[in-house]
Amino acid sequence: MLQKPALHTVLSPKLLSLYDISNSVVVIIDVFRATSTIATALYNGASRIIPVAEVQQCIEIGKKLGGITAGERDGKVIEGLSHGNSPAEYPRSFIQGKTLVLTTTNGTKLLHMALNNGASEIITGSFPNLSAVCDHLVASKKNVILGCSAWKDRFNLEDSLFAGAVIQRIQEHFTIHCDSSLMASELYLAQKDNMANFIRKTTHWHRLATYGLEKDLEYCVTPDQANILPIYRNGDLVAK
Amino acid sequence: MLQKPALHTVLSPKLLSLYDISNSVVVIIDVFRATSTIATALYNGASRIIPVAEVQQCIEIGKKLGGITAGERDGKVIEGLSHGNSPAEYPRSFIQGKTLVLTTTNGTKLLHMALNNGASEIITGSFPNLSAVCDHLVASKKNVILGCSAWKDRFNLEDSLFAGAVIQRIQEHFTIHCDSSLMASELYLAQKDNMANFIRKTTHWHRLATYGLEKDLEYCVTPDQANILPIYRNGDLVAK
């Protein structure tokens, strides 16, 4: 019998170096809100998304390519950029056929770390594209790293909940000897019918709800509203 | 109204630097089995426990002080030391009045990190001394860091379960804006009546049960069998 590929969950970018990711598909998870926005913009026809770490770089690439520049700090659009991090800002009528240059703190950092550590393939995951992620991971038959972007390297609940949702769906296809995965899976199982209430307890909810983003956050924990697979290729995230 | 002190849970030594611990009581948690053994040996009358990182240091201090040297790797007593990491090896008839020089991988590392990062006070926590830890934290009225020793820096379930048990008991006395704490608390709440089964799923169980240590592990998740408070003072862990 063939051995099943391994699946691990990484709870913070600071823990990524503990894992050999060289033969793995790495799923970048940043539920509130980067990877939810990435799925939504691609689902609505964005030609590509360029994730960048620095604001200045975002502005420069935006000018050079004529793309939409986007990024927030403390719930407000960053000075010099034109749009924010909300998935609601990227309907088909606006984003179709355009390039989105997106700067985010946590998700972009983890994506670049995965790239530098030699990930075999990088995709992004969020509840809006849950099924697309699960289908791809099962079909790939490769080792999987579920990479939680966390908040300034601190563990967060929402990224783990998504990891747990993935594990619940695909666990029979993988060998899982990983306490982080077991925790995420148990957490999701316990909370899946109570998500709207549970996420209101998270620190991130309290941080963002201050800015009136409740509708955004509820969208970000609803499965399959933008069911597409963002895959990283030569600097861009594109729909597979 | 006075503001309540803050409580945070740190899921791995690699994440400790994200927290300001300078005004905090740091609880070192290494459920399987270092801090369970520490509580048990002190409860049974050990005069002090000297936690050391290196085997050679353990041997030297043991010779110099005439103490019992203890440490395991892969479930076997380390060559050159006289005893292992099992709480069952330290009944009163053996350990009373003696010095125990203990080398462990994960717990000792975190303890020294907490010391170097300027913790206000360091104690050790485990299910055998759950109540003593909770009573002390409530009485101290200081900020608290629940520090999980993890396994080679990877998250583990059993240390989080203990953090959750502490939080469930003392949460009304603290301000808790910390997703790690919320996760630990929810995990414990969901599993507390199912502990004996749940811990059999952990990676650590599979690692240690191979060496026939099931009884040890069950003891290590049973509350208040050695209800004493180990506190770190000038290189020693002593009963408060």
Fold of A7-239: putative 2-phosphosulfolactate phosphatase (3.90.1560)
**pLDDT on residue A72:** 87
For residue A2, the model assigns a pLDDT of 72
The pLDDT score that the predictor gives to residue B207 is 82
Q: Which residue has the tokens 């369970």?
A: B36
- Pairwise CB contact (< 8 Å): A177 & B206: yes
Cβ atoms of B71 and B85 closer than 8 Å: yes
pLDDT by residue (tens digit) across B87-103? 999 999 999 999 999 99
Tell me the DSSP string of A98-146.
-EEEEE-SHHHHHHHHHHHTT-SEEEEE-GGGHHHHHHHHHHH-SEEEE
Under an 8 A CB cutoff, do B179 and A190 touch? no
Helix, strand, coil percentages in chain A from 3-state DSSP, rounded to 5: 45, 20, 30
Q: Is residue A139's pLDDT more than 80?
A: yes
Q: What is the pLDDT of residues A29-87, one digit of tens each?
A: 999 999 999 999 999 999 999 999 899 999 999 999 999 999 988 778 999 999 999 99
Residue B4 carries which side chain, given as an amino acid letter?
A: K
Place of tokens 């619940």: A168
In this prediction the ipTM stands at 0.94
Chain B neighbours among A 18-37 (CB < 8 Å)? 18
Note the pLDDT tens digit of each residue in B160-218.
Answer: 999 999 999 999 999 999 999 999 999 999 999 999 899 998 888 888 887 888 899 99
Q: Is A154 on the interface with B (CB under 8 A)?
A: yes
pTM of the model: 0.96
What is the reported pLDDT for B212? 81
Dist. CA A239–CA A48, nearest whole Å: 8
Residue-level pLDDT at A1:
58
Give one DSSP letter per residue of A195-229, joined into a string: HHHHGGGSHHHHHHHTTT-HHHHHHTTSTTSS---
Q: Average pLDDT for residues A152-180, to the nearest whole number?
A: 97
Task: Give the model's confidence band at B1: pLDDT under 50 very low, under 70 low, under 90 confident, else very high.
Answer: low
Nearest to B9 by CA among B170, B152, B129, B131: B170
pLDDT at A73: 82
CA-nearest residue of chain B to A156?
Answer: B179
pLDDT in tens, B69-127: 999 887 789 999 999 999 999 999 999 999 999 998 899 999 999 999 999 999 999 99
Residue A72's beta-bridge partner residues?
Answer: A77
Tokens of A217: 């956050």
The reply to whether residue A11 touches residue B179, judged by beta carbons under 8 angstroms, is no
Q: Using a CB-CB distance cutoff of 8 angstroms, which residues of chain A are in contact with residue B160?
A: 183
Given this model, what pLDDT does residue A55 score?
95
* Inter-chain residue contact B157 with A178, CB threshold 8 Å: no
Distance CA A206, CA B135 (A): 30
Count CB atoms within 10 A of the CB of residue B74.
9
Arithmetic mean of pLDDT over chain A: 95
**pLDDT (0 to 100) of residue A204:** 85
Q: Do A204 and B179 touch (CB under 8 A)?
A: yes
Other C-beta atoms lying within 10 Å of the C-beta of residue A212: 9
* End-to-end alpha carbon distance in chain B: 31
pLDDT in tens, B18-56: 999 999 999 999 999 999 999 999 999 999 999 998 999
DSSP B44: T
